[in-house]
Each structure stands twice: as C-alpha cells, then as structure tokens.
Amino acid sequence: MGWREQKKAETRATLSWAALQLSVERGFDTIKVEDIARASGVSPRTFNNYFSSKGEAIVARHLDRLLRVAEMLRERPAEPLWDAIAQSLLPQFEPDTAAAALPIPDAAQWAAGVRMMLTEPALQGELLRAGAVAEAEIAAAVAERTGTDLNQDLYPHLVASLVVAATNTVMAHHLRTNSSVPVERLLADALARIAAGLPTP
C-alpha cells in the first residue's frame, strides 16, 4: 500500500472510530456529520468523500476487519483451513491507531452505550449489508484455498457464514456478559469449537 492509500485508510478508520465513539457517548440520533468531522480534524466534505451516512461510518470498522480476513486468507501459506482463518481473523481485533487516538472511557458505560446504539434500525440494516459483503469476499477466498467452486459449491459459503456469525456472536456475547475476557480470546475459543465440529459442552 502506497503512502496516499495508507493515508486514506487512516482517515477512513479515524472517521469510523469517531462516529462510533460519539454515538456511544451522546446517542446515535443526536450526533451529526459535522460532529464526526470535527472530532476527526477534517471537513464535513471529507467525511462525505468516505461515507454516505453516519451509520455506514460506524459499521465500516466492522466491515473493514472482515474484508481484511479475506485478504489475509489469500496470503496465508498452505495450512489447515481453520488455522488459516484463525490466523487471519484474530489479528483484526488488535488495537489500532485510530482507536488509540480516541481512547475508550469507562468500560461498563461503554458496553451499555454500544448495546443501546446497536438497537438503532439504521445500524442493524448497515450491519446486515456489511455482513453480506464480507461473506461474499471470505467465501471467494475460501474457495480459492480449498479448490471449491464459488458458484456451485455450498462449502465456501457455509464457511464464510460461520466466520461472520462467530464474529458477531462473540461480540454480542462480550457486550451481553460484560466479559473481562478479551474479544480475541473469546473468538479463538469460538473458532476452535467450530473446527472441532461444535461438540456438546
């Protein structure tokens, strides 16, 4: 990735994180594009160059993570599929520079705010759209790794659906239980259970 592309990626991540943080702290309905732009140090016009709505901006972080999974799957060496998926997915939950620039406040209040924000119909629709886009890309990467036919075989689509579902379920579980266990550890456990065939606990 060249310098210009890297700068664009950083701006996109910063805008998305600012939209998320402001929505959690103030409420989704109360914030405006101008607020997000100001918190990110850019103009509203710059925001509109990246996103069509604040809902799209919030969900962009989740979508970008999942799209990077597909990219990394294509770059992984030959290894068992679920090992490759774990090595591609888990790094996406490491802290990034955009999040570090706008630190998370009190963890319990943050979790409560995220739960409330996720009830917004506009965000639910954006999350569904993002999931569908990510599943398509992950399925294509899985088909390439496994030599299956993306258009004819169920397998790559089933695997992609499981990856996205596991990610969403772990994040929801983390919020629901106020778990002190990091998301990446919960996700590693979920992937291990799937790889083992989801045996009864």
| Residue 179 placed within a domain | yes
| Residue 150 placed within a domain | yes
| Residue 49 placed within a domain | no
More confident residue, 177 or 50: 50
Average pLDDT over the chain reads 90
* Percent of the chain whose pLDDT exceeds 70: 92
| Structural domain count of the chain | 1
| Residue 110 placed within a domain | yes
What average pLDDT does the segment 65-73 reach?
95
CATH number of the domain encompassing residue 75: 1.10.357.10
> Do residues 135 and 150 lie in contact, with contact meaning Cβ atoms separated by under 8 Å?
no
What average pLDDT does the segment 187-200 reach?
93
| Residue 15 placed within a domain | no
| Buried residues in 45-65 as b, exposed as e (16+ CB within 10 A) | eebeebbeebbbbbbbbbbbb
Q: What is the pLDDT of residues 142-186, one digit of tens each?
A: 999 999 999 999 999 999 999 999 999 998 898 888 777 888 999
Domain ranges, residue 166: 55-195
> Do residues 168 and 132 lie in contact, with contact meaning Cβ atoms separated by under 8 Å?
no
| Residue 42 placed within a domain | no
Q: What is the pLDDT of residues 101-120, one digit of tens each?
A: 555 566 676 777 788 777 88
